[in-house]
Chain A
């Protein structure tokens, strides 16, 4: 089947455009009816041909046409006109299309709907807004621009994953990431390896970073399940629709965009350089003599450079349009040796046949991406560990320049480092960067083809197919001769080679008909098939089990069978078949009713009684502005309500857990098979209002939603007293409710000066109303990713994302209990961990502005989050080693003033030696309560300043834009010791915590784009 698809679009690509003979020249001027101003950019086509042009800056055009030709004049926002050629100049006034306010949005399954008819919240960003910040991963360009969206960037630098939540998390265990759809086809957002916890773990990237941002025409965010009912369970977390650029009739365009950006570190943990190394050979701490020591950290970081160069060519006639683009992104990180290189090639062609009744679109996206020395998470192989802890007063340059020395006996280079590998594998940062390199290569192919056949005016049949394939090879080659904790005597080799692919096909019949004057009907009937395999392949890690010969990195050289435990794997497999129907009924353009139903058959529910499940949605929209005569300042008013139910299947293999082969034993299945399973059910209610005032210069949209997720599939950590480690329950009732408000205004709108401003407000509350009888009233650890005195527990009455940490032991009056030496006591071993807050913000506010003055344009985005907590394991660890400014200040003051009580209730007040204090309170399993920060932050997320050179229409260069671009420029407010938006994992664990994550960086640069 897929061979056929590929063949068919190859065929389509091969079709040549047909030239048409011309016999007369017609020219003229087109002006705007209301103002009489010349109208540039109007498409002028000879009807029935591919022959066309567009008007210049003065509204003039000239075109060779055949005899008895008719010109079709069209432009978005204006009424299309057909003018017969009668000889002589043609001067036409074009009237604005009053319906143009009712912009058309692409909704689920690529179905185009008038925005006014939508019964749910949708927000669209144009390509400018998406690519403005010139982010390597376009998803990060959405930050702060869309209400209801929370985005956290991964910590692995360019090519890392992005954690995106629409309307908060509702799934306790399964992913809360939204569905991404490219041109109507669900895209597999492959992430085969996610970092979690504190030791390591690799972020494989999530596939979004594969996309060339310059190919994006627009992005529409459908926030709730209501919008996404037609995508089924995949759309339960919301949908982000990406529409890619395509060629336009009659215009041949070449766009070149070139960006050079510089990334620099502007903040890292507040370290001290005035107390020296602890007076013991090989110490990894700095509890020594006071002095004035060199800051070795500043010079370590590089200035990262990002070069993004893209070219696109597009054009076409009224039968065929073509879009081609190539982009190269090259980036070096602030971490030396980190390098990212990506090549994107996109080819898209649309052709029409049989009097435009058959439309064939094919689209191929190729990505080749290579990342060298991607940052790994946590302690292991993290150069920042050695960098930040490096005992003060020793000669860092000496270790930097001579990070390796020859071991003459073995004739190999070994690490030169004053700290003998401690249990966190503290190593020379330069050894890590140069001698334990990792490289990740990703190749991706996405081929889409769609056919649309207009059967009659009312009836259209379309079919789509897509094949999306990714192979990723990851290797790490750690040389012999450094930390024995993570590398064997002879080195360590990690090899992973996995593929992921998805085949998708659907067929949709649409029916559009007006009944009489008042009734408008829109119906969809369709079916879809989807087969997806993620992360199938081989994964081998020799860890410290050993290699036969030193520094030879291949699988054959691995000793120790343990390296092969779980070597062959597949993360997940899914076949899903669906049938769906949707009907929209419009009455007098003022009342719209939307009904849909979907039935899915999912392979992951096999072995249960419920592999088939049906769910409906309904929505109602009312437009008072159409129904009544409203005061003049109200240009548009709309009220909407919708309800949707979405069922979600469970992860692969859970209904039939089987045994695994381990090196030493039959790894018996430790999951209790769960065949009484029901699909998860999510009910969403949404109410909203959209208004536009003062000739639509002000727009306002507000939505209230409530999402109830029931019967969640929960793998619960079984207690040790049972023969299983994991039990599944179909339980839980998690409720999200919140408000999203967008407010936008064209503050100024004159010929020379415009200022557009937009506010996005998001508030989401989450409540775990119920787990089930068995698990209510206790703490349940659902997913991994905690440790070191930090956990996220699921507790009835709590919220998803609740953070629990090691806390101070306190007496009944809340006094901190200290030991005899005055060091506070950790409460965990007697009282368990304590709830200190939630990872999610209380509300978020984005303020986006774009201002233009003549040819100068300026934009800035201020992004803020209020509330939520953030935990820094980095600070805790560094405090225990006396590496932070906090510990230096304490030493300056002679110690830490502690007021508490002893275990027997005797009050204690005194100055405690700083080292004793921070060794007890800080450190790996220290009292994390001290290291919980308010995550509130306000930042200048994005800033651009550009100049548009408008050139004469007949010049070779049509337009040239030069702009300065800056991202993450500074914080107006931030209490956390790092960027609290960093996320180690895109999963539900390890949220709002950092452990030697990257320093905060800002980037700025220059973009040059030219149109020809």
Chain B
């Protein structure tokens, strides 16, 4: 009896007390995850993090749809959905429905990695990788501030529940400082091959090219603030040009990011989902100019009313059914086989220099030359011939647009501006030519085109027909920004209120951001 009792006691206690909790750590680690230790191999926690940021400067997956395709792409009037999302009351008709992802995708996929760099002191231990990361960060985050205005930036990561917003002016100041740091650091690593194994961009790890990209980005940002701080704009623009590594000048300098074997998101939206089509404005401008890039950008319509034509949809119209416009011009077949997405190109840089020269800045050439260069580079980029004939066209203007489904949406060409450079023309007209051509060449990066439209008013876009903003956005003034995410109001109300205050106006799509002064261009 006693023996039995003893056995029991031993058995019971041994079952629990002498148990090994040693295997608990292993058992409580997800067997299909990646530990930090394993990331240390091959520097996957340094270069691998920059590599991980690359697909999100311009999002390469489906997230792009609400982030840019239904916002910047529509507002720049590059691409318009045939789909009446949310009973047709959505961003495209000025009833903001999607305004969270423009922020969240960038914070989760760009800022989070840079935040990890701060935590791991990468700036001290691997300054070149840190500098490289900074370039990615500025490329991505300027889109966020251009969308919203004030954003969380300098105080990023300072607290778990309250991070005050910075004014857009402050953010731009930091952008320039970060580009300074990146460029000066990388100059010491110009011949390094450290980036090669991590770089999925068109640069293949070439540090000089990255410096050139940083300088080009500086030029883009400098021009953006020209109306609000002209002297800083000139100073930064000239700094970009003066840098020994210079700016992008040929299409080999273009920054493009690999799709990593995935389908181009715009092809997915256009071909798979049938949720994006050519805009009426594209039809009017490229059609009016008989632009040879039109058949590259888009496919002819298959709708029986307009079969074979390049037919676009006007932004912000009444759409009841997806069927009505879905067989208008879809996006060009070049996207079906695309292996990368475009971030920034030499043609954009040429147009920026053209504008700089027009403003009398030292851009290393004349506005006219850069203008022609921009067009030529864009033609080359899209493998189209005939740039010189095109540039000589002094008669073609924007064409009239007819909506075969609903004549109320038809409009006359919104501008008489022609292609050919006219040295005698006013600065304003010259600027219109430059920005109009830049708009064409930026395709399909609608986000940047929308920012430049807001800054300059060019090209002359077409106001929406239906405006569901409830009076918040003036149809004639166009949409000026994206409202702060509702998620911020829901879980970071105190923080977003600092942003609203810095915005200096009500938080809606009708309020202008800092660099968008609404004043004249000159």
Select the stretch in A466-474, A916-924, A1003-1011 that faces chain B: A916-924
Measured CA separation A576–B24 after assembly (Å): 9
B256 to chain A, nearest CB (A): 15
Measured CA separation A667–B251 after assembly (Å): 32
| Pair A455/B4 contact, Cβ less than 8 Å | yes
B176 to chain A, nearest CB (A): 21
Contacting residue for B470 out of A611, A612, A669, A825, CB 8 A: A825
Residues of A within 8 A of B407 (CB): none
Residues of A within 8 A of B162 (CB): 719
| Pair A719/B161 contact, Cβ less than 8 Å | yes
| Pair B273/A721 contact, Cβ less than 8 Å | no
Residues of B within 8 A of A780 (CB): 491
| Pair A830/B507 contact, Cβ less than 8 Å | yes
Residues of B within 8 A of A421 (CB): 274, 322
Tell me the chain A residues, 452-498 only, with Cβ under 8 Å from chain B: 455-456, 459, 461, 484-485, 488-489
Query: What sequence of 0s and 1s flags, for each residue 27-39 of chain B, a beta carbon within 8 Å of any chain A beta carbon?
Result: 1111111111001
Measured CA separation A670–B260 after assembly (Å): 23
Query: What sequence of 0s and 1s flags, for each residue 288-327 of chain A, a beta carbon within 8 Å of any chain B beta carbon?
Result: 0000000000000000000000000000000000000000
Is A775 an interface residue, CB under 8 A from the partner?
A: yes
Is A513 an interface residue, CB under 8 A from the partner?
A: no
| Pair A658/B30 contact, Cβ less than 8 Å | yes
| Pair A606/B25 contact, Cβ less than 8 Å | yes
Is A778 an interface residue, CB under 8 A from the partner?
A: yes
Measured CA separation A974–B492 after assembly (Å): 38
| Pair A659/B36 contact, Cβ less than 8 Å | yes
Contacting residue for B163 out of A455, A485, A721, A725, CB 8 A: A721
| Pair B490/A781 contact, Cβ less than 8 Å | yes
| Pair A509/B8 contact, Cβ less than 8 Å | yes
State the majority secondary structure of interface residues on A: loop
Query: What sequence of 0s and 1s flags, for each residue 434-475 of chain B, a beta carbon within 8 Å of any chain A beta carbon?
Result: 000000000000000000000000000000000010110000
A42 to chain B, nearest CB (A): 37
Measured CA separation A569–B508 after assembly (Å): 42
Is B104 an interface residue, CB under 8 A from the partner?
A: yes
| Pair B157/A721 contact, Cβ less than 8 Å | yes
Is B111 an interface residue, CB under 8 A from the partner?
A: yes
Query: What sequence of 0s and 1s flags, for each residue 354-373 of chain B, a beta carbon within 8 Å of any chain A beta carbon?
Result: 00000000000000000000
Query: What sequence of 0s and 1s flags, for each residue 479-490 of chain B, a beta carbon within 8 Å of any chain A beta carbon?
Result: 000010111111
| Pair B491/A719 contact, Cβ less than 8 Å | yes
Is B152 an interface residue, CB under 8 A from the partner?
A: yes
Measured CA separation A287–B87 after assembly (Å): 12
| Pair B61/A664 contact, Cβ less than 8 Å | yes
Residue ID in chain A nearest B25 by CB atoms = A606
Query: What sequence of 0s and 1s flags, for each residue 260-273 of chain B, a beta carbon within 8 Å of any chain A beta carbon?
Result: 11110000100111
Contacting residue for B321 out of A283, A485, A825, A880, CB 8 A: A283
Residues of B within 8 A of A670 (CB): 108, 112
Is A894 an interface residue, CB under 8 A from the partner?
A: no
A280-B323, A488-B272 known; A717 and B491 CB under 8 Å? yes
A423-B275, A507-B12, A660-B34 known; A573 and B321 CB under 8 Å? no
Residues of A within 8 A of B49 (CB): 666, 668
Is B19 an interface residue, CB under 8 A from the partner?
A: yes
Tell me the chain A residues, 480-524 only, with Cβ under 8 Å from chain B: 484-485, 488-489, 505, 507, 509
| Pair A723/B491 contact, Cβ less than 8 Å | no
| Pair A579/B16 contact, Cβ less than 8 Å | yes
Residues of B within 8 A of A655 (CB): 28
Q: What is the size, in residues, of chain B's interface with A at 8 Å between Cβ atoms?
A: 102
B38 to chain A, nearest CB (A): 9
| Pair A658/B36 contact, Cβ less than 8 Å | yes
Is B414 an interface residue, CB under 8 A from the partner?
A: no
Is A560 an interface residue, CB under 8 A from the partner?
A: yes
Residues of A within 8 A of B490 (CB): 779, 781, 791, 793, 832-833
Is B476 an interface residue, CB under 8 A from the partner?
A: no
Query: What sequence of 0s and 1s flags, for each residue 164-189 of chain B, a beta carbon within 8 Å of any chain A beta carbon?
Result: 00000000000000000000000000
| Pair A455/B51 contact, Cβ less than 8 Å | no
Measured CA separation A568–B470 after assembly (Å): 48
Tell me the chain A residues, 566-621 only, with Cβ under 8 Å from chain B: 568-570, 573-575, 577-579, 599, 601-607, 611-612
Residues of A within 8 A of B53 (CB): 665
Is A555 an interface residue, CB under 8 A from the partner?
A: no
| Pair B324/A722 contact, Cβ less than 8 Å | no
Is B519 an interface residue, CB under 8 A from the partner?
A: no
| Pair A282/B322 contact, Cβ less than 8 Å | yes
Is B413 an interface residue, CB under 8 A from the partner?
A: no
Measured CA separation A145–B33 after assembly (Å): 45
Measured CA separation A665–B88 after assembly (Å): 35
Is A29 an interface residue, CB under 8 A from the partner?
A: no
Residue ID in chain A nearest B405 by CB atoms = A280
Residue ID in chain A nearest B22 by CB atoms = A606
Is B412 an interface residue, CB under 8 A from the partner?
A: no
Select the stretch in A133-141, A227-235, A525-533 that faces chain B: A525-533
Residue ID in chain B nearest A832 by CB atoms = B489
Is A24 an interface residue, CB under 8 A from the partner?
A: no
| Pair B492/A666 contact, Cβ less than 8 Å | no
Residue ID in chain A nearest B470 by CB atoms = A819
| Pair A924/B86 contact, Cβ less than 8 Å | yes
Residue ID in chain A nearest B156 by CB atoms = A721
| Pair B272/A484 contact, Cβ less than 8 Å | yes
| Pair A919/B87 contact, Cβ less than 8 Å | yes
A826 to chain B, nearest CB (A): 9
Measured CA separation A10–B305 after assembly (Å): 76
| Pair A666/B111 contact, Cβ less than 8 Å | no
Residues of B within 8 A of A781 (CB): 490-491
Is A724 an interface residue, CB under 8 A from the partner?
A: yes
Known: A579-B13, A658-B35, A719-B488. 9 other contacts (CB 8 A): A421-B322, A544-B62, A573-B28, A603-B27, A606-B21, A659-B36, A721-B156, A723-B156, A781-B491
Closest 8 CB pairs of A and B: A282-B323, A723-B115, A721-B163, A665-B52, A606-B24, A721-B152, A283-B321, A527-B16
A contact set with B: CB distance below 8 Å: 278, 280-285, 287, 419-423, 455-456, 459, 461, 484-485, 488-489, 505, 507, 509, 525-529, 544-546, 560-562, 568-570, 573-575, 577-579, 599, 601-607, 611-612, 652-653, 655-656, 658-661, 663-670, 672, 717-725, 727, 774-775, 778-781, 791, 793, 819-820, 825, 828-830, 832-833, 880-881, 903, 919-920, 922-925
Pairs A–B under 8 Å by Cβ, sample size 21:
A423-B85, A505-B15, A529-B16, A544-B273, A545-B262, A546-B272, A579-B13, A603-B23, A607-B28, A612-B21, A653-B28, A668-B116, A718-B160, A719-B162, A720-B108, A720-B111, A720-B152, A721-B492, A829-B507, A920-B468, A924-B87
